[in-house]
Structure 1
Amino acid sequence: MTVLVAERRDLGVFLGRIVRLDAGALVRIRPSGPDHLTLWAALPFDVLVARTVPGSWLDDATVSAAELLESTELPRRRDSEWRGSLPPDRDWQPLDTVPADVVRNLITAGQKAFRAAGTQAAGESLLDHETLRVSTPGSPEVAVTFRLLLALARMAFLGDGPVGVSSCGPWVRLTAEHGTVYHRTASFGVTLLR
């Protein structure tokens, strides 16, 4: 079966970046309307990325990103290997938009801090650094960690337009000109037994 993609270059750019970050990465292909597909992938630093391209496919399929990059045919399905859930389709609360130049400056500063950190442990803590806090009146503040901005940079999703910040339950989403990144914040609950 062939995944029909109107713009093969869009698919190739997305898959190429995923494979450079993780040669064994999986990509999930889902129809998103009658003439578009949304491609999902999990980055090694706990961020989901998504890119919607013109095309068609019948159902939800998970395959090797590297194999799909090399073929126009759908590679062997690996649906059972996908780990984790996808973010909700609706009920997102728009919080703010941030100019692309501001986001670009934050990314540059974060990347310099990464290089200066020197150790993996220090780099891990930088990923969780709260780079922005955004909210709308009547809603709690939401932290945007550097891992989301790094994902925008690594996937080259940032264009000249503003970046939209929204949330839905434990999920935080950044919507940029060339793609979207998601992070699910950890939520811990304590239950007292009597």
Structure 2
Amino acid sequence: MSWLDPASVADAGAFLARLVRLDPTALVRMRPAGGRTLELWARLPFEVLVTRRVCADLAEDATVRAADLLDALDAGADRLPPRRDAEWRWPLPPEAGLVVERLPVAELHRVGAAAEATLRAAVTGGVRGRAVGERVLRDALLDHVPVVVITDDGTRVDVPQRLVQGVVRMGFLGAAPAPGEPAGGAVEVRLARGWVGLAGAFGTGWHRSSRGLAVRPTG
């Protein structure tokens, strides 16, 4: 693929493959970010935007189906798949954001795995002896706030489980460390005008609450 730097083919492929596993119909937006830098953007089924940077020579913003682009990468095609620019309907964070906290990678993996285990147990055994639909359970877990950050100026930043799941499932944190191994790195919590982000070594997830700001002053 002539427009994509050969050194970035594996990175773009990993992003697209994980995205398609989560949502076979997902769109991917490719947005030039200056120089030879291209941002890949996508929206996950649980209301989280994810992005990863690659090296590429693409002159204009373009949106295509992620599955089509993945097939084109696998085939070594030189041209982009059919464009679907009009189908992209989601605003993007206005900037990279301010880093307000750094969390251990191992802690984010633990939080994500705990939610998955809770969902499996609840689907199998119910909640307090009562059967509950899997979708209801999943939505409740995604809305749960497992991480709260208080900034230096007293602002409370809620990091919902859906954002943790986004960066974990997209592989942005790398592999989970084995028991007894060092955590190996940190995840940045970022703020950008009402958006909350988690930035790992291999990409960033963003969420903005539809029920109001997820960021609010304490008091």
- How does the TM-score come out when normalised to structure 2? 0.81
Amino acid at match of 2:196: V
Structure 1 length normalisation: TM-score? Answer: 0.91
Taking the TM superposition and a 5 Å limit, the aligned residue runs for 1:46-125 are 46-71=47-72, 72=77, 73-90=79-96, 92-118=97-123, 119-125=134-140
Which whole-Å CA distance do the structure 2 matches of 1:169 and 1:89 have between them?
Answer: 9
Aligned residue in 2 for 1:3: 3
Distance 2:118 2:168 in 1: 15
In structure 1, the residue matched to 2:18 is 17
Q: Verify the 8 A CA contact 1:170 1:187 in the aligned structure 2.
A: no
Cα distance between partner residues in 2 of 1:89 and 1:56: 22
Mapped to 1, the partners of 2:161 and 2:148 lie a distance apart of 11
How far has the Cα of 1:147 moved from its partner? 0.5
Partner of 1:164: 188
1:108-129 deviation digits (Å, cap 9, x = unpaired): 1111112123221011010010
- AA in 2 matched with 1:130: V
Q: Secondary structure of the equivalent of 2:38?
A: strand
Q: CA RMSD in A?
A: 1.7
Displacement of 1:18 after TM fit?
A: 0.8
Q: Deviations over 1:132-153 (max 9, x none)?
A: 0012111410100110111112
CA separation in 1, counterparts of 2:212 and 2:37? 36
2: distance between equivalents of 1:99 and 1:108?
15
Shift of 1:185: 1.4
Measured after TM superposition, the shift of residue 187 of structure 1 is 4.5
Is it true that 1:146 corresponds to 2:145 in the alignment? no
SS in 1 for 2:94: coil
Distance in 2 (CA, whole Å) between partners of 1:188 and 1:127 is 16
Q: Which runs of 4+ in 1 moved over 4 A?
A: none
CA drift of 1:99 comes to 0.7
Shift in alpha-carbon separation, 1:188–1:13, aligned structure 2, 3 A:
closer
- Whether 2:32 is the aligned partner of 1:34: answer no
**Aligned-partner Cα distance in 1 for 2:195–2:212:** 14
Q: Secondary structure at the match of 2:146?
A: strand
Q: Flag the structure with higher strand content.
A: 1
Identity, % of aligned positions: 42
Number of residue pairs the alignment of both structures matches: 188
Work out the CA distance in 1 between the residues paired with 2:18 and 2:5: 18
- Counterpart in 2 of 1:192? none
SS in 1 for 2:155: coil
In 1, distance between residues paired with 2:71 and 2:147? 38
User: Aligned partners of 2:14 and 2:138: how far apart in 1?
Assistant: 27
Secondary structure of the 1:96 match is: strand
Structure 1: which 5+ runs fail to align? 190-194
Q: Alpha-carbon deviations, 1:136-189, whole Å to 9, x = none?
A: 111410100110111112111113320000112221000001110000112549
**For 2:199, which of 175, 178, 192 is the aligned residue?**
175
Deviation at 1:78, TM superposition (A): 0.6
